[in-house]
Amino acid sequence: MAADILIYEGCNFFRQRLILATLSGKTVKIKKIRAKDDNPGLRDFEASFIRLLDKVTNGSKIVVSETGTCLLYQPGLLIGGNVDHDCNLKRAIGYYLEALLCLSPFTKEPLHAVLKGITNDQTDPSVDLIKLSMLPVLKRFLGTDEGLELKVSRRGAAPDGGGEVVFTCPCRQKLRPIQLTEPGKVKRIRGIAWATRVSPAIANRIVDSTRSILNKCLPDIYIYTDHHKGSQSGRSPGFGLTLVAETTNGVFLSAESASNPKGSENGVTVPEDLGKNTALLLLQEIYKGGCVDTTGQSMAALFMVLGQQDVSKLLIGQLTPYTIQYLRHIRDFLQVMFKMDVQRKDEEDTQTGGDNLLLTCVGVGYSNISKRIL
């Protein structure tokens, strides 16, 4: 039995290990979790994440040591269905949603998850970014967007949250392989400028400052203003912006920023500065190139491996440290390694600014054993 257990040390890449353990069915043991800290062991948001995994699976065995510095996770069967979860306020809803996106295609029943907490902060991907850039990537592997939806019922800024989102996803027998190697050229930019418990004029100020940068690049720009009032506005004041650039080949590249939370030592964020900085972040993302942005590349790599036993290819702009570690964990849990080729850009090529990386792998033919074949 011990030979079947994968053993890791430390709290880094906690979600990666538990997600891959759930999908592969392998038991994982994580030791020395913050063993040298003054406050050792699992944090509350990690315990909340474990509870969420327990809700979407059936028969999982979870053992935590008395000090919280050791975790044994033996995954059960992914069942999905209706899930209601209060996310810990130390991390945003996006922290939990990223995991659900990876697991939801393989559940027994279509997933209908209601998550409550912080919808937008400065650490985790916001629900807007996940909706605008990560759901289109998931759609490519599912083959359809029928039943795939992410709806913001209430918006909640950091630090007190009060937001609520509803995520629904269909389950599939198998995922499709992809050949995504041509990003195309940017044809339009869309965005959401949101504000809660502050003046509605702030969202308009964000839009004006953002357009002062992006109007120099292309004319097709539309940024929605989303101002919530009363019970729909959460418990904390805040504002922010999410931008997404869509290319002629249906590729979505995104960037976002959020204001400093109430009581922050960094002071109050100026809306005009936030708008300009977010516009520059989007241009930087476009400069990197590739067919997925930095937020979605790790999920895309995972689904390439879990696809049918066929070759999948994906062009990305630049590997993030998070994705690099994800690829290492994929090798541990699923025994798959990627072939990587640098795609050099000619000086005359004006589509992107940097060299790109072409990821190639053969899927393992992962099958959803819970879903009956029609």
Query: Which three-class secondary structure string do you get for 4-55?
Result: HEEEEECCCCHHHHHHHHHHHCCEEEEECCCCCCCCCCCCHHHHHHHHHHHH
β 80-86/61-64 pair status: unpaired
The DSSP code for 138 is H
CA–CA separation, 295 and 220 (whole Å): 24
Whether 341 maps to a domain, the answer reads no
Kind and range of the H or E element at 186?
strand 186-196
Decide: 301 and 333 in contact? Cβ < 8 Å: no
The DSSP code for 310 is S
Q: Which of 48-57, 91-100, 247-256, 345-354 has the lowest mean pLDDT?
A: 345-354
Domain end point (choices 266, 288, 310) = 288
pLDDT for residue 1: 42
Whether 201 maps to a domain, the answer reads yes
pLDDT for residue 373: 44
Decide: 82 and 118 in contact? Cβ < 8 Å: no
Q: For residue 190, what is the domain's CATH number?
A: 3.30.360.20
Domain that holds residue 196: 186-288
For residues 184-194, average pLDDT: 96
pLDDT at 374 over 60: no
pLDDT single digits (tens) 156-169: 999 999 999 999 99
**Single-letter amino acid code for the residue at 77:** L
Whether 245 maps to a domain, the answer reads yes
pLDDT for residue 144: 84
pLDDT for residue 122: 94
- Closest among 121, 123, 62, 54 to 83, alpha carbons compared: 54
Whether 88 maps to a domain, the answer reads no
Looking at the structure of the chain, the number of domains it has is 2
Whether 140 maps to a domain, the answer reads no
Question: 357: pLDDT confidence band, cut at 50, 70 and 90?
Answer: very high
pLDDT for residue 343: 85
For residues 325-354, average pLDDT: 83
Question: 322: pLDDT confidence band, cut at 50, 70 and 90?
Answer: very high
Domain end point (choices 288, 317, 351) = 288
Share of the chain above pLDDT 90, in %: 87
20, 179, 335 from 331: Cα distances, Å: 10, 21, 4
pLDDT single digits (tens) 220-252: 999 999 998 888 899 999 999 999 999 999 999
Decide: 146 and 138 in contact? Cβ < 8 Å: no
Whether 65 maps to a domain, the answer reads yes
Domain end point (choices 25, 58, 76) = 76
Whether 315 maps to a domain, the answer reads no
Average predicted confidence (pLDDT) for the chain: 93
